[in-house]
Chain A
Amino acid sequence: MSGETTTTSWKAKAEFYFRAVLENLLPIAILLGIWEFVSWNEWVPPQLFPRILTIFFDMVEEITDGVLLTHIGTSIVRLLISVFFALIAGTIIGIVMGASRTFEWMLVPVVNFFSVIPGIALFPATILFWGLTEQAVVITISFATSIPIILNTWVGVKTVNETLVHAARSMETKGLALLLKVLLPGSLPVVIAGWRIGIARAWRVLLAGELLASPEMGLGVRIFDAQETLNSAVIYGGIIIIGFLGFAMERLVLRSLEVATVQRWGMMREL
């Protein structure tokens, strides 16, 4: 019986990264190309729909001023802090709900109650408590983000292949060890999907928060300021930056995590 051999060549590596860049950026490049074509032909009035190049040059100008990078940095820090808490709390709560019947019946109604409430509707309440502060924004985002993470983790844990649980239990695995050794890795594909939904939700709530709590800095602040001066290039530029950041985060962090874990283990089909 022959075993396995591993090969890594520079050529294969280069090809991998080239393909990754191509597959991820090409669809977006095509979209932006269509945009440029439409706006260049002025099929839509340029005040409403500026050219990509105009947007791009505005961005470069703002970056050299240092303003744009501060806006971006502030938003990212807010987002990361909120997501950090939501990931940890949401995943733990979800696992506990999936593993313990008591927690399950206590929390399922509560989580479902909050899952229909949009993050933006929570701001008036959190602002009552914490005022127009960073805490109010971060707490609201964390809360809203943790909901889909909890729900996914819960379902993920409940749907872990039952014979795997049997196999583990037959070898005297129970309680916390069962949770960490079997339920968590076994539900990882679904848990990561929940992180994905949660982080997307975090961006949306972040933007709403930056509108309502109107802090000094942030991508949302920049977009809504531009709305008042009717600066369409900045409005679209802001949207593009947010979309791009969200997309980059998903690809670089979550997708890489997936490739390194569930896809490597053969728990998830490759693209």
Chain B
Amino acid sequence: MAFPEILSFLAPHSVRRCLVIGPNSVSAKLVINSLQKTFVVNEGFGHSRHVQAIENVSLEVTDGEFVCVIGPSGCGKSTMLMIMAGLYPKTGGEIFLDGQPLSEPGLNRGVVFQDFALFPWLSVRENILYGVKQKKIPEDKHNGIVDHYIEMMSLQGFEHTFPNRLSGGMRQRVAIARALALDPELLLMDEPFGALDAQTRANLQQVLVDVWEQTKKTVLFITHDVREATFLADRVIVMSARPGRITAEIKVDLPRPRDILAPEFVEIERNLASLIESQNETLHN
């Protein structure tokens, strides 16, 4: 993308932007620029209400980076993720993935939802294959792909089980496998471990770190758990509510695997917690 400045009018819009912003953003995998979202809630009988969920969010994520977004409930984290999945239309700003403007859903993004969202009528195997089939990958590759992700997520023996017969932790493993099987450019995860018990959550956090180190996917992970964010992320983005915006950002420069009892870990965790705490105070004042 080495466009001479003088020829920039020839370049596609997205490239032109990058040139203006500077060399750093050329390598950005994901660019979010002044994102805004206002919901118009139809309350029936002629009443409607405007809810500004996201005020003005800008964010850049580099290739292979693990970014956590943390913030209180209702600060627009899910909304932001849904917009990036192409499931909600944005009302302002722009998003670029690999330089391409993003608005529709696409198979270049894998989404993992808090409540798993597995298709109950499809077996574990068929769930994992759902997106693979959507991508029109030839059938002779299917077995290899399924086996690969079944093994990666330790789901051996459950290929033909229906999701509603599995425990929550196992279901989320399937959902992660289904998202990874798309071989997406961006993995979007909305509080994926929020519905799990503490032990299963800790276990899956480790699984996710292992998988991320293997696949080097770019991950946007939403959580409201400070320890989870500190354990997983390269960088934590802090959001505040009403309306949702980014208030702080912390780099987590700890080597993995991380020890949640190590003093460095605890310090970052405490910093993060106090950041969230302080913005809650300003909110109440």
- Which of A144-152, A209-217, A258-266 has 4 or more CB atoms under 8 Å from chain B? A258-266
Q: Is B165's beta carbon under 8 Å from chain A?
A: yes
Cβ of B158: which chain A residues have Cβ within 8 Å of it?
3-4
Q: Which residue of A lies closest to B119 (CB)?
A: A164
Taking CB atoms and an 8 Å cut-off, the chain B residues in 76-108 that contact chain A are 82, 85-87, 105-107
Which residue in A1, A167, A188, A266 is a CB contact (below 8 Å) of B111?
A: A167
Judging by beta carbons under 8 Å apart, are B117 and A166 in contact?
Answer: yes
Q: Is B121's beta carbon under 8 Å from chain A?
A: yes
Judging by beta carbons under 8 Å apart, are B164 and A266 in contact?
Answer: yes
Judging by beta carbons under 8 Å apart, are A171 and B182 in contact?
Answer: yes
Known contacts A1-B157, A172-B107, A173-B134; A265/B115 CB under 8 A: no
Q: How far is the CA of A261 from the CA of B120 in the complex (A)?
A: 10
Judging by beta carbons under 8 Å apart, are B130 and A171 in contact?
Answer: yes
Which residue in B117, B131, B163, B164 is a CB contact (below 8 Å) of A163?
A: B117
Q: How far is the CA of A136 from the CA of B160 in the complex (A)?
A: 48
Contact with B along A166-185 (1 / 0, CB 8 A): 11111111000000001001
Cβ of B106: which chain A residues have Cβ within 8 Å of it?
172
Q: Is A2's beta carbon under 8 Å from chain B?
A: yes
Which residue in A3, A169, A185 is a CB contact (below 8 Å) of B119?
A: A185
Q: Is A240's beta carbon under 8 Å from chain B?
A: no
Q: Is A267's beta carbon under 8 Å from chain B?
A: yes
Known contacts A185-B121, A266-B162; A170/B157 CB under 8 A: no
A211 to chain B, nearest CB (A): 42
Judging by beta carbons under 8 Å apart, are B120 and A169 in contact?
Answer: no
A233 to chain B, nearest CB (A): 48
Q: How far is the CA of A172 from the CA of B130 in the complex (A)?
A: 11
Cβ of A266: which chain B residues have Cβ within 8 Å of it?
120, 162-165
Cβ of B119: which chain A residues have Cβ within 8 Å of it?
164, 167-168, 182, 185-186
Judging by beta carbons under 8 Å apart, are B105 and A170 in contact?
Answer: yes
Judging by beta carbons under 8 Å apart, are A3 and B157 in contact?
Answer: yes
Cβ of A163: which chain B residues have Cβ within 8 Å of it?
113, 115, 117
Cβ of B156: which chain A residues have Cβ within 8 Å of it?
1, 3
Contact with A along B155-196 (1 / 0, CB 8 A): 111101111110000000000000000100000000000000
Judging by beta carbons under 8 Å apart, are B164 and A265 in contact?
Answer: yes
Known contacts A170-B87, A171-B107, A173-B134; A267/B120 CB under 8 A: yes
| A contacts with B, residue count (CB < 8 A) | 24
Q: Is B58's beta carbon under 8 Å from chain A?
A: no
Q: Which residue of A lies closest to B106 (CB)?
A: A172
B137 to chain A, nearest CB (A): 13
Judging by beta carbons under 8 Å apart, are A167 and B117 in contact?
Answer: yes
Q: How far is the CA of A166 from the CA of B86 in the complex (A)?
A: 10
Q: Is B215's beta carbon under 8 Å from chain A?
A: no
Q: Which of B120, B155, B158, B182 has the most CB of A within 10 A?
A: B120
Q: Is B37's beta carbon under 8 Å from chain A?
A: no
Cβ of B107: which chain A residues have Cβ within 8 Å of it?
171-172
Judging by beta carbons under 8 Å apart, are A4 and B157 in contact?
Answer: yes
Q: Which residue of B lies closest to A174 (CB)?
A: B105
Cβ of B280: which chain A residues have Cβ within 8 Å of it?
none
Q: Which of B87, B155, B160 has the most CB of A within 10 A?
A: B87
Q: Is B154's beta carbon under 8 Å from chain A?
A: yes
Cβ of A182: which chain B residues have Cβ within 8 Å of it?
119
A150 to chain B, nearest CB (A): 22
Known contacts A163-B113, A266-B120; A171/B162 CB under 8 A: no
Interface residues of A (CB under 8 A from B): 1-4, 161, 163-164, 166-173, 182, 185-186, 188, 261, 264-267
Interface residues of B (CB under 8 A from A): 82, 85-87, 105-107, 109, 111, 113, 115, 117-121, 130-131, 134, 154-158, 160-165, 182
Listed from nearest, the 7 A-B pairs whose CB atoms lie closest are: A3-B157, A266-B164, A167-B117, A163-B117, A185-B121, A171-B131, A170-B111
| 27 interchain pairs, CB-CB under 8 A | A1-B156, A1-B157, A2-B157, A4-B160, A164-B119, A166-B87, A166-B111, A166-B113, A166-B117, A167-B111, A168-B119, A169-B86, A170-B87, A170-B105, A170-B109, A170-B111, A171-B131, A172-B105, A172-B107, A182-B119, A185-B121, A261-B121, A264-B162, A265-B120, A265-B162, A266-B164, A267-B164
18 extra interface residue pairs, beta carbon distance < 8 Å, beyond A163-B113, A169-B105, A266-B163: A4-B157, A4-B158, A161-B117, A163-B115, A166-B87, A166-B111, A167-B111, A167-B113, A167-B118, A171-B134, A171-B182, A172-B105, A172-B107, A185-B119, A185-B121, A186-B121, A265-B120, A265-B164
